Amino acid sequence: MKLSLFLLATLLLASSEGKVLVVDPSGKGDAMTIQGAVNIASPGDTIKVMPGEYSGAVIDRKLTVQGSDQVRIEGTAQGAIIVNAPGCTLSSLSLAAKGSGPGIVLESSGNVLSACTVKGASPGIWAGGDDNILTECNVQGASAGVEVTGRNNTIQDCQVSSWMGLSIKGPEAKVIRDNLSGYVGARIDNTTESLITGCQIRSVTGLEVSWSHNNSITNNSFSVQGFGVSLIKAHGNLLEKNDIAGSYTGGLDLLESQKNILKDNRVDGGRLGISLRSSRENTLKKNTCIRNERAGIYIDSSYRNEISSNYLQCNGNGMLLSSSSSNNLTSNLAEAGTYGISLRGAPSNVMTNNTMRSNSYNFRVDTGEVSKALKSSVDPIDFIQEIDESNNIDGRPICYLVGVSDRKVPQGCGFIALVNCKKVSASDQALYNNSAGILIVNSSQCNLANCTMSRDEMGAFLLEAKECSVVRCTSDKCKLGISALRSSDCLFQDDAAKDCQKSGFRLYESLRMKLDDLKGDACQEGLSLINSRLCQAVGCTMERNQESGISLTTSHMASLAGNTLCYNDVGLSLIGSNACILVGNNASFNKQSGLELEQLSGAEMTQNKAYYNGQGLFLQSSKRVTIKGNDLSFNTLHGLRMSASSGCNVTENIFKGNEASGINMVDCQENWIYHNTLGNNSYDNALDNGKNHWDAGPKVGGNYWSDHDVSGNPGRDPRKIMTSGQDRYPFQRPGGWN
């Protein structure tokens, strides 16, 4: 009895599952074609396809179609298999479409496609219905491997290779543990609530998400050359625990996107790790960005983003904010990179509890690329930040003061900024490895004393500072030692700059600055003034600099007195700087010229010394220069070389022992040269090819010439000048005019 009941149950179960139809091209089955079997099947039947090659089919009823690796189906331009009935199952089939058609078209819902190999032109598989499942398939398509337009379709454990692996245009798609390769791994376009998780994606661009919201991209691995994940006008998406590597342009990139969460991702080895561009109200939390060429995290033209607890190692910038404001930076760690955290043209951000350590330049605040050349477009508003002492640099707090007065900066700071401050002082600080050790911005009557800045891009930088002082401070191995832009009435006194890659001291567009007893040693330039007026440099020592000891460019009415400028390429250089006064400077032992004046008018040079240079004084394209009482002797070439200059007075100078000539004038007109001592210059005491005056008439007389004997002070035996001109009234002895 028990056996009969079992047999009855078995028969009933078999009848409920439907019959099995066999497709065999040899004629041994129920049909020779798949379409033939479909035509005779009833809903719920199973079609077993024997090895062979077949034409395509349209499945218009609920069926199970089972094949093997040897089943080959080649369909029409409309598709190899078209499923327009719900609830079908297709497994172990190899399908290829002709022409531009897809391999499989799923027009209906609730179908399962398992372990199939599919080749299609556009695309491999098209899923237009809802609730379809594609699992363990190998798909190739010319334009897209799989295109999904229906709702709640699942692509799981598949291998997809195409120009675009997946094109998801329907909501609630689930992409699970797939391997995607091509130019674009996957694209989510204008849809919502899809999931991509556990996938391996190897492509130029990994995943594009555009105009799509509330999608989840988690636990994926990307190896890309373009962008890992790109969100374009996409909101409310989750990117979590993804791993991105390769020579990518951007790992995770958001453009015009908002309220997305990027959490626990790892981005390693490209140009930009995580980038927000014109995006707002996003959350970046606990991400790891390593070895990114430009920045681990890059924020451009973006605001109100929360950036917290990210680990940033060995990047060009650990974090770089450009033209971005009102962002919160909290508890981030940036280490072992070129820059730690950079705020460039990015005002009004809030920083709390961030750590920067072991970077070449830990912290940078400036106005962006223009600040490199100290352009006049630098704006003090870019320095207004909310940064408290919970932030630290190599274990020392950031002291960032905004709008305070009558205060002393505490000891032991890692970085100092005085912004919109008055009467604030800082002393005995050691500041190193920052973009600027000390910033003084739009502040007045602030004072720095006894501070040491080393290995900074700028040791101290004053922007629109007034009546401030920097006294007994040292910049060592900085790119630029101590500098000022658009500042006035400030004092630099007894400061030193050594081994700076650019200038030891630099003024740009500044007014009435006093530079007293400065020392610039082994820098590119010792002291440079650019577009600055009415400045004074007194008692400074600028030695062993690669270019000029002191240089002035379009800096008018400067006073340079008692400076020592030795062992530089050029001792003192003035270009386009009018009405300057040079008194009592010693410019000796320089490789090129001791003193150089070019393209200027109205300078006064008195009591300067220029010994053992390439040439003592070089004057070019200038007019109305007074050269009086200088000692320009023992130079390798000329004591004075003048070119294309006019209206100058050269009087009471000493030109002795120069190896070429004492005075060499080329293409000069209407200059007056008299009461000078020209003695024992090796080639000739003077040369002139222009029309100049070598005496001031019989009463005033001319010059003393060691190679011309005369009687009388002045005498009446003219001395001819080589090439052109003569001194009609030379003197018998040096100083005979006194």
Higher pLDDT, 673 or 13: 673
In degrees and rounded to multiples of 5, residue 558 shows phi and psi of -85, 155
Is residue 494 packed enough to be buried (19+ CB in 10 Å), middle (13-18) or exposed (0-12)? middle
5, containing H or E segment:
helix 2-17
CA atoms of 686 and 267, how far apart (whole Å): 71
Both tokens of residue 66? 């089972």
Q: What is the dihedral of CA 683, 689, 691, 692, to 10 degrees?
A: -20
Greatest CA separation found in the chain? 158
Tens of pLDDT along 287-314?
A: 999 999 999 999 999 999 999 999 999 9
Q: What is the DSSP letter of 129?
A: S
Q: How many other CB atoms sit within 10 Å of the CB of residue 176?
A: 16
pLDDT higher for 6 or 47? 47
The pair of three-digit structure tokens given for residue 292, joined into one six-digit string: 């990114």
* pLDDT single digits (tens) 396-411: 999 999 999 999 999 9
C-alpha to C-alpha distance for 345 and 363, rounded to whole angstroms: 14
pLDDT for 34: 93
Domains and CATH numbers, the chain: 15-176 (2.160.20.10), 391-546 (2.160.20.10), 595-608+616-738 (no CATH)
Distance between the two ends of the chain, CA-based, in angstroms? Answer: 150
- For the residues of 602-653, what is the DSSP string, one character each? S-EEES-B--SSSEEEEEES-BS-EEES-B--S-SSEEEEEES-BS-EEES-
CA dihedral 146, 147, 153, 154 (to 10 degrees): 20
Mean pLDDT of 547-568: 98
Reading the block at residue 185, the tokens are 């791994």
The 10s digit of each residue's pLDDT in 340-387 is 999 999 999 999 999 999 999 999 999 986 434 444 457 889 999 999
Q: How far from 86 is each of 49, 101, 146, CA to CA, in Å?
A: 20, 21, 19
Q: Strands 661-666 and 266-268, how do they pair?
A: unpaired
165 and 203 in contact (C-beta within 8 Å)? Answer: yes
669 has pLDDT over 80: yes
Q: Which residues make beta-bridge pairs with 498?
A: 476, 521
Q: Which residues contact 373 (CB under 8 A, 6 or more apart)?
A: none
Once rounded to an integer, what is the mean pLDDT over residues 432-450? 97
pLDDT at residue 142 is higher than 80: no
- pLDDT tens column, 487-520: 999 999 999 999 999 999 999 999 999 999 999 9
Rounded to an integer, what distance in angstroms lies between the CA atom of residue 453 and that of residue 161? 56
Residue 303: which of 319, 276, 327, 284 has the closest Cα? 327
Query: What pLDDT sits at residue 131?
Result: 97
Average pLDDT, the chain: 94
By DSSP bridging, strand 719-720 and strand 726-727 are: antiparallel
Q: Using CA atoms, how far apart are residues 577 and 46, in angstroms rounded to an integer?
A: 96
Sorting pLDDT into bands at 50, 70 and 90, what band is 392? very high
CA dist., res. 522 & res. 542, Å (int): 9
CB distance 340 to 362 below 8 Å: yes
Which run of H or E residues covers position 688? strand 684-688
At which residue do the structure tokens 């005779």 appear? Answer: 40
Other Cβ atoms closer than 10 A to 428:
11
The whole-number pLDDT of residue 361 equals 97
Look up the pTM and report it: 0.88
Residue 113 has pLDDT above 80, yes or no: yes
Q: For residues 674 and 652, is the Cβ–Cβ distance under 8 A?
A: no
